[in-house]
Structure 1
């Protein structure tokens, strides 16, 4: 009898454990709009944005009179084979290779010196984490800190937005003694400590990290700051301009303070990179790039390998960060004499040996103190074919400063070394392999299970969202004029000044060793007819007044806030939302960037999407943004994209909620949880 009882208890316990440990049944939706997007195919080839099968690539090689059995033949025509070693190299470069030219960022701007100002505080904050992860490392100042005209007293807590992985001694994307990699902006840490590659670091304090530099104003062309404004006169140097005329430069301290004040107006998770003297701050994008060309918020990266993605990667490592090379065509693009440009950049250089004396022509002084240009501003840079000779290179659709990021082939110290353009192409291939992380939230599980996501898919169609955001990548791969979208025009106008001086886009073949020899093969890079009228002009829909490309909607739940400027931002606690989708604003202070990322507070994806879709709520968000002078200086307001799904458009609040749930479900496999 005892044995029977024991057997019964054992059986009962086993049954209970089986029920507890049994995997939850799969929750899924059925709409065809929720089918997973096609993924990158290993073994295929990229040919300037076209995906070719091995057979098609072989035919291309043969049509050029080359041997398809020789791997080098594919490099010679510009075809890049997608292999696992290429993806591995791209990931390593993206996550670990410092961006920018060391000469400009370190010896001129002084980024490492800036980071050193808070490095003790960062060390203390990391130690206090005791091996635990965080998505926003907060430091407490050990001494007073002045940035621009603002003094942060000792003891002030500062959100850095730096992400820390479990048991890590350095934030993601930060390298000692003070270099940064792409990961600082494009890898986020989940609450559990998982590194989410490709997810934007939505609260990184890029504005503070740059303002710490002693000569941050070397990047003055990225903001609307005129160096010859009489208000900045004082103790500046007197130099000779391109015409041999004497010009008094701005007082370096006044100019630095003014620039840093503008920087500090930029919200967390935003950046300024284009040297166009336009305040056109944008939020950090995702890098789930496969099938979503063109690239860049305004779609200016639209030709070349991987449909323009390699051009965008090249910009990150060259035209957007190379401070000195940006002065080559400054007269044509921003109305500043090139010698004046160089003088402003150099007179307060972090390395005092580079600082110009009175009475010199800055370009001549630069070559005197840094005679080897390939160890100075052209380190790891190659002048693209057809652009001319430095320092008078002309831009092309491949590089707005005429330069390609391509470290020397035999430099074994550099993980980005390889044949011409290898690093850019490797990073592109890896980025194209990324997928949005699965949305494992309870709200997504419930919305999939109760049919809300399926209903939202129908609303998506009924509201005509799919006319521009075409599944499965949820983009029409087009650029739309500003007049059509009604969004803030600042970023969309960024490259317009280069249009009249563009030259035909050319690259060296991908079997070319760096440094490049004089007999290297040159490839003419085609401009897609669907976007361009010719290859010496910006995309047709960027002209004449600018425009924006259609972003993919994949990964929306990890990429709040919304629109290029991130202006459609609402905090988690700002709204009270009912089960039927009805809502009311319960905390107006949480509306707009003023109540979110301007304070380092994350924007909530669901509430921000509601503001994107509901015109009344959007109006409140825009009004809040426009009342903030700092946001107005940065041209951040959340205007435009007036395609609403609300009562005025004939949709119920429940339908609006269903659409939001549909959009939040667009992850790596939207139909399943």
Structure 2
């Protein structure tokens, strides 16, 4: 039996074991599987740590005892990046119903087996059933482009963790799903690259209870979806409030989610449909983190806390009931009832006829009693308030480990990643010309230093990009608290009286004001971080809303409508040219604005009007040179 056939046999047997466990209701210890390859299967395995003291904490926290950047910590973080879900399989499977719609877990795993050990950057799955999703009919047997990546020899997509527990098969999602790709030319995994075509919007919309994700869309008034006012929940103040119609709400949320292009996801609780392009995880030198610089304080300039955002903020809406009144103006009981009234698993489905408060019902089925939500989370010291430690007041932390231990590993691993060399051909003298043009054009005023960033936040009024994402944290003003963290030696579950300490602010006060956008509840101006320019070859399209997109055919494949909405990957050379050339940019912005879906997702591609084109006095040769310089900026540092 050849090596490939052996791998096929092992993969099929593994899937059969999970199927039998579910079908027979085996009462065995929990089975789980996620693909974690060896370092040799990565195109860019993490570099060996290089720190003077082996820790990497900021000077203000030098007394903290946890090791940080050591080979063991990086390896621990890599394994977590591939396979740790912090229990989000419960939300995704039992509440959201990600695998109860046209995309089932069975059809997804069957698609991976069908590859027979080959890798792919886009797992195509046959619809399990016919369903109407946001007005679109998906028919049984139809091929669906998920954008999920499968490594060579793997039998689950990257980042999909399958578990079987007491007869129930679930699947969760780890970091690697969005922050790595299978690279066909090399046959290896590019760790840390954004997954440019993972179709998160479609995967969420095709779920049977995508309404539970409504705070990440522009569905901001539940009263618009009332039909039967007798379906009420007891509220926190002793009154009654009617639940929105589950089907009407589901349809509205589905329509919003289907506007998201591949490679985009909305990560902020601002009741705006403003998905962001998935960022890379080449984090070294790229602080502060997130589009608006929301993670700027604490170990590794905020990267440790940023590493907990996906599971603390994005993959468990049930953990945010304490914020619903202040952030959304929704009573916590109505909020929780709305999330659970259409839950995929009947065990988690709230019935208003029961007369129970949704919080009482949830407490009776909560898989993580004692902590909010269903994920493996720990409330921050100033919970229910929020801070730079967590903008939802929750930290992802696993029982049996120290507080934040996985987050420290994840941060160490990401900081150890370098982008692989680009596949752009350019003579050394052309790259050098590009560097000189970059400086002549004044770009180094913001993009300077080893990683081409000054690590600041720039006001939206100056940069001129689409403003929504820059003031997305304005909701946090009403719940803003103290920047407190537990001592790093604290075990989880928390002891009765854990030690805490204050996380100092490292960023300038004006940057903090721009990031938070606090202004008397009205939402301040807001701003955007100035990003590192490392790895641009792997991260097209460009700009804070990801709207500067051009395909190989720069005459026709313009904007998101001409690229991702049309099934065309943005070309890094042409997309970067559109960032620098005002004539091409005008056509990109016009294409985005003319498209209802792009406009509905607030993707424009405007702003950052710093040109390197003929009108600015530069030649075509100079423009070409600076593009190649930027796309190859990290090649010489490998």
Q: Same fold (TM over 0.5)?
A: yes
Q: Note the residue ranges of structure 1 that are not aligned, 5 or more in a row.
A: 1-37, 62-73, 388-392, 410-417, 576-584
2: CA distance between counterparts of 1:318 and 1:559? 25
Change in 2 beyond 3 A, CA 1:634/1:232: farther
2: CA distance between counterparts of 1:118 and 1:519? 44
1: CA distance between counterparts of 2:408 and 2:293? 18
Equivalent in 398, 417, 423 of residue 407 of structure 1: 398
1: CA distance between counterparts of 2:576 and 2:367? 53
Q: What residue in structure 2 maps to residue 313 of structure 1? A: 307
127-136 or 366-375, which deviates more: 366-375
177-186 or 621-630, which deviates more: 177-186
Q: How many Å apart are 1:288 and its aligned residue? A: 0.6
Change in 2 beyond 3 A, CA 1:655/1:541: farther
Q: What residue in structure 2 maps to residue 217 of structure 1? A: 211
Change in 2 beyond 3 A, CA 1:119/1:231: closer
- Please provide the CA RMSD for this pair: 2.5
Q: What residue in structure 1 maps to residue 357 of structure 2? A: 361
Q: What residue in structure 1 maps to residue 501 of structure 2? A: 523
Q: What residue in structure 1 maps to residue 458 of structure 2? A: 480
Q: What residue in structure 2 maps to residue 556 of structure 1? A: 536
Q: What residue in structure 1 maps to residue 447 of structure 2? A: 469
Equivalent in 376, 386, 393 of residue 382 of structure 2: 386
1: CA distance between counterparts of 2:116 and 2:48? 39
1: CA distance between counterparts of 2:596 and 2:56? 46
Equivalent in 95, 104, 114 of residue 118 of structure 1: 104
2: CA distance between counterparts of 1:85 and 1:467? 38
1: CA distance between counterparts of 2:136 and 2:517? 42
Equivalent in 176, 179, 190 of residue 186 of structure 1: 179
8 Å Cα contact 2:256/2:273 also seen in 1:
no
- 1:669 counterpart SS class: helix
2: CA distance between counterparts of 1:636 and 1:426? 34
- 1:373 counterpart SS class: coil
Q: Are 1:602 and 2:569 counterparts?
A: yes
1: CA distance between counterparts of 2:511 and 2:525? 16
TM-score (norm 1): 0.81
2: CA distance between counterparts of 1:298 and 1:323? 22
Q: What residue in structure 1 maps to residue 34 of structure 2? A: none
- 2:190 counterpart SS class: strand
Equivalent in 272, 275, 281 of residue 281 of structure 1: 275
Q: How many Å apart are 1:103 and its aligned residue? A: 4.1
Q: What residue in structure 1 maps to residue 240 of structure 2? A: 246
549-558 or 499-508, which deviates more: 499-508
Change in 2 beyond 3 A, CA 1:528/1:123: closer
2: CA distance between counterparts of 1:292 and 1:266? 26
2: CA distance between counterparts of 1:43 and 1:207? 43
Q: What residue in structure 2 maps to residue 94 of structure 1? A: 81
Q: What residue in structure 2 maps to residue 546 of structure 1? A: 526
Q: Note the residue ranges of structure 2 that are not aligned, 5 or more in a row.
A: 1-46, 163-169
Q: What residue in structure 2 maps to residue 669 of structure 1? A: 636
Q: What residue in structure 2 maps to residue 435 of structure 1? A: 418
Q: What residue in structure 2 maps to residue 20 of structure 1? A: none
Q: Are 1:374 and 2:370 counterparts?
A: yes
8 Å Cα contact 1:384/1:403 also seen in 2:
yes
Q: What residue in structure 2 maps to residue 159 of structure 1? A: 145
8 Å Cα contact 2:95/2:345 also seen in 1:
yes
- 1:151 counterpart SS class: strand
Q: How many Å apart are 1:505 and its aligned residue? A: 0.9
8 Å Cα contact 2:296/2:507 also seen in 1:
no
101-110 or 419-428, which deviates more: 101-110
Q: Are 1:448 and 2:434 counterparts?
A: no
Change in 2 beyond 3 A, CA 1:286/1:299: same
2: CA distance between counterparts of 1:126 and 1:321? 24
8 Å Cα contact 2:89/2:171 also seen in 1:
no
2: CA distance between counterparts of 1:174 and 1:656? 42
8 Å Cα contact 2:547/2:603 also seen in 1:
yes
Q: Are 1:81 and 2:61 counterparts?
A: no
2: CA distance between counterparts of 1:551 and 1:542? 22
2: CA distance between counterparts of 1:508 and 1:143? 48
Q: Are 1:647 and 2:614 counterparts?
A: yes
Q: Show CA shifts across 1:446-498 (max 9, x none).
A: x134x211100001000111110112111110011111111111111111121
Q: Show CA shifts across 1:261-291 (max 9, x none).
A: 1111110000012121011210011111111
Q: Are 1:173 and 2:168 counterparts?
A: no
Q: How many Å apart are 1:132 and its aligned residue? A: 2.2
Q: Are 1:499 and 2:477 counterparts?
A: yes
Q: How many Å apart are 1:605 and its aligned residue? A: 0.2
Q: What residue in structure 2 maps to residue 269 of structure 1? A: 263
Q: What residue in structure 2 maps to residue 22 of structure 1? A: none
2: CA distance between counterparts of 1:524 and 1:375? 22
8 Å Cα contact 2:193/2:281 also seen in 1:
yes
- 2:534 counterpart SS class: coil
2: CA distance between counterparts of 1:538 and 1:363? 36
8 Å Cα contact 1:493/1:547 also seen in 2:
yes
Q: Show CA shifts across 1:217-241 (max 9, x none).
A: 1111111103523344248821122
8 Å Cα contact 1:478/1:549 also seen in 2:
yes
Q: Which has the higher contact order (CA 8 A, sep 6+)?
A: 1
1: CA distance between counterparts of 2:100 and 2:108? 14
Q: How many Å apart are 1:353 and its aligned residue? A: 2.9
1: CA distance between counterparts of 2:245 and 2:534? 47
